[in-house]
Amino acid sequence: MNMTRRKFILSLLGAVGSVGAGFGTFDYVRNMRKIFDSKNFVDGKFRNENPVYEIRKGTLFDTQKRWLTKKNTVPEHKFHFNADAIPEQASADLKVMWTAHSSLFIEIGGKRFFCDPVWSKVLSPVGFGGPKRFFDPPLPVERIPVLDGVIISHDHMDHLDKKITKLLAQRGVPFYVPIGVDYVLKSWGIPEAQIITADWYSTFMAGDVKLTSVPCVHFSGRGIFDRNKALWTSWIIEGKGKKVFFGGDSGFHDGFKEFGEKYGPFDLTFLEIGAYDKNWDRIHLGPEAAVQAHLDLKGRVFMPIHWGAYDLSIHPWDEPVERVITAAEKNNVPLSLPRPGQLLAEKDFVVNSKWWEV
Ligand SMILES: [Zn+2]
Ligand SMILES: [Zn+2]
């Protein structure tokens, strides 16, 4: 098929994806150039550097069977958290607040960022029927301070939340997103001028703070028509001699070692520990592989993320944290396990709040 015709057909597919993703406009058709220019976009889809299965073949019945009989995947206790006050002015120190799942407030080099802010009570394109939050967001929207950027790892519902994204966008905050996610944001009415798109190994400066997008092993899609139409990424954030690694969602890969050598050491790593299963073990880390990834990255303190807020798999809701504690102890890895909404300065990073033990 000649290139023009192929591109046209792919554009149509993309348009369907965009509508599926955001019930939005046909911007997808008009502005797909960056997607086509990415060497990671092959035959109409983004793909992992070394392609992996997303779900192990022939496991549908096994998954359904275990899903229907799963237990303790939601806490019985009704949690409530009130976030610590965030000072009005940013300091030059490294500070962090985990507000549950993969949502993180990070202060670094005098700048303030939010990674994957998700505030929704339910993860669903239609507002109902999806996994429910275990507790309200500890930090009300109006208490989110002035930000220098929102950093998005990929377009999955548990990482890219339409409502909070639109609210933060109204403040004029720039969004750093992997290629393809820009079309979702534009379909929500967010001005193009506020969206900065990253391919793998893109770098950006937010003042003196450097943001680098590096590959991870995952997939994307918010609906049934937009699978892998947008890229997924991990982020390295560095400023004033401090450096952190925000993994987003990723299965284990050799890149962690490479990034450790090339960009490490990291003062803090944020790596996913929840939503694992033996049938999709290539696209999520799980607790033990996350500890190994932290070691490969040459991380100092490890803050586990992607747990404690939504029921996304078959494992008990608090199993990721219990398993990560065991794995970290075995490998002498210092863990940061704050309660949701706890603001940590560097001296407080190593902490075990045991908030889940009630
Ligand atoms: Zn994901
Ligand atoms: Zn996720």
Ligand 2 centre to CA of 325 (Å) is 21
Ligand 2 centre to CA of 159 (Å) is 6
| pLDDT of res. 8 | 42
Tokens, residue 281: 């073990």
- Tens of pLDDT, residue by residue over 129-147, are 889 999 999 999 999 999 9
Mean pLDDT, residues 143-152 taken together: 98
- Tens of pLDDT, residue by residue over 319-342, are 999 999 999 999 999 999 999 999
Q: Which ligand is nearest to the CA of 273?
A: 2
Domains of the chain: 3-352 (3.60.15.10)
pLDDT above 70 (res 20): no
Ligand 1 centre to CA of 250 (Å) is 8
| pLDDT of res. 309 | 97
Ligand 2 centre to CA of 312 (Å) is 8
Ligand 1 centre to CA of 218 (Å) is 7
For ion ligand 2, residues whose CB falls within 5 Å: 158, 249
pLDDT above 90 (res 5): no
| pLDDT of res. 26 | 46
| pLDDT of res. 208 | 95
| pLDDT of res. 78 | 96
Question: Do residues 152 and 116 touch, judged by C-beta distance below 8 A?
Answer: yes
- Tens of pLDDT, residue by residue over 59-106, are 999 999 999 999 999 999 999 999 999 999 999 999 999 999 999 999
Ligand 2 centre to CA of 216 (Å) is 13
Please list the residues that pair with 86 across neighbouring strands. Answer: none
Ligand 1 centre to CA of 222 (Å) is 10
| pLDDT of res. 124 | 87
- Tens of pLDDT, residue by residue over 220-246, are 999 888 999 999 999 999 999 999 999
Tracing tokens 């597919």 back to the chain, one arrives at 13
Mean pLDDT, residues 23-28 taken together: 46
- Mean pLDDT of the chain, nearest integer: 91
Mean pLDDT, residues 201-225 taken together: 96
Mean pLDDT, residues 346-355 taken together: 98
- Tens of pLDDT, residue by residue over 268-302, are 999 999 999 999 999 999 999 999 999 999 999 99
pLDDT above 50 (res 122): yes
CA distance 236 to 259: 9
| pLDDT of res. 17 | 46
| pLDDT of res. 21 | 45
Question: Do residues 272 and 102 touch, judged by C-beta distance below 8 A?
Answer: yes
